[in-house]
């Protein structure tokens, strides 16, 4: 089994057996009734955090070394130096994901990623002490990878991109734990939130897992009813991008 399969398999196992990925009936913000729900806030236990941080680390490192994060006019040599400077997590769930991802990157390759910083935003600007809207690494002039749990409508990611750009940062990619692969509610075309963001910003947007992965991963243990409802949900709402 390849290292890619290893970390994705372990992430899937942790999500399913540890509680972050649940099956049943859940009402989403869109009003849809989903047969599954992914909650990154449930990766609070050490072994579960290890699984998601490792998955983010591998996903980011593989994309970096493949040149996925390179912007126009950037040095095309990705053999030794990272093509990004900061991992940014939108408050609140993105905060532990960013810090854990940076730690995982350092474990994977300290020479390449030991100087990578993390940052996150405040919900309200701090007016005392160091003040400001952000915590962590400075963003001005830095190449930034945004990490988060899922993309629903994409609103939080648009806000993160706007904040980083306003601070002088250069967003080079968005990486999420899960791509639900479903169409946006009331969209004129069968486009997903992930696809809409990719088209709007012209950025690479990557996911560790997607709905197809979940369906394959649940087959060994899921009830026939859970599996059938999840497959039916995919058939009804899966995007075409």
Contact 183, 192 (CB under 8 A): yes
Contact 193, 30 (CB under 8 A): no
Return the closest-CA partner of residue 21 out of 237, 151, 211. 211
Contact 173, 206 (CB under 8 A): yes
Q: Which of 126, 142, 157, 190 is catalytic?
A: 126
Classify the C-alpha dihedral 74-80-85-87 as positive or negative. positive
Sort 17 into a burial class: Cβ within 10 Å, 0-12 / 13-18 / 19+: exposed
Our CA dihedral for 206, 70, 62, 150, rounded to 10 degrees, sits at: -20
89 φ/ψ angles, rounded to the nearest 5 degrees: -115, 115
The residue with tokens 């532990």 is 96
Classify the C-alpha dihedral 139-144-148-150 as positive or negative. positive
Give the separation between CA 62 and CA 113, rounded to whole angstroms: 12
Sort 125 into a burial class: Cβ within 10 Å, 0-12 / 13-18 / 19+: exposed
Whether 126 is catalytic = yes
Q: Which of 29, 76, 128, 219 is catalytic?
A: 128
Positions annotated as catalytic residues are 126, 128
């Amino acid at each position: 089994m390849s290292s890619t399969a290893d970390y994705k398999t372990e992430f899937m196992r942790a999500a399913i057996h540890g509680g972050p990925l649940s099956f049943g009936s859940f009402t989403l913000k869109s009003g849809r009734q989903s047969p599954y729900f992914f909650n990154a806030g449930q990766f609070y236990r050490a072994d579960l955090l290890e699984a998601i941080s490792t998955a983010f680390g591998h996903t980011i490192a593989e994309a970096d070394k493949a040149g996925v994060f390179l912007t126009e006019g950037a040095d095309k040599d990705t053999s030794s130096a990272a093509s990004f400077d900061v991992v940014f997590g939108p408050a609140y769930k993105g905060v532990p994901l960013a810090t854990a991802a940076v730690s995982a990157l350092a474990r994977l390759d300290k020479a390449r990623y030991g100087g990578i910083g993390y940052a996150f935003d405040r919900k309200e600007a701090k007016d005392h002490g160091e003040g400001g809207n952000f915590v962590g690494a400075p963003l001005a002039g830095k190449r930034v990878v945004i990490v988060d749990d899922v993309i629903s409508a994409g609103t939080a990611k648009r806000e993160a991109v706007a904040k980083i750009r306003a601070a002088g940062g250069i967003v080079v990619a968005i990486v999420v734990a899960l791509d639900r692969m479903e169409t946006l509610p009331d969209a004129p075309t069968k486009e997903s939130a992930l696809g809409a963001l990719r088209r709007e910003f012209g950025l690479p947007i990557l996911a560790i897992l997607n709905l197809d992965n979940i369906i394959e991963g649940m087959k060994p243990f899921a009830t026939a009813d859970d599996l059938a409802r999840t497959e039916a949900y995919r058939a009804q709402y899966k995007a075409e991008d």
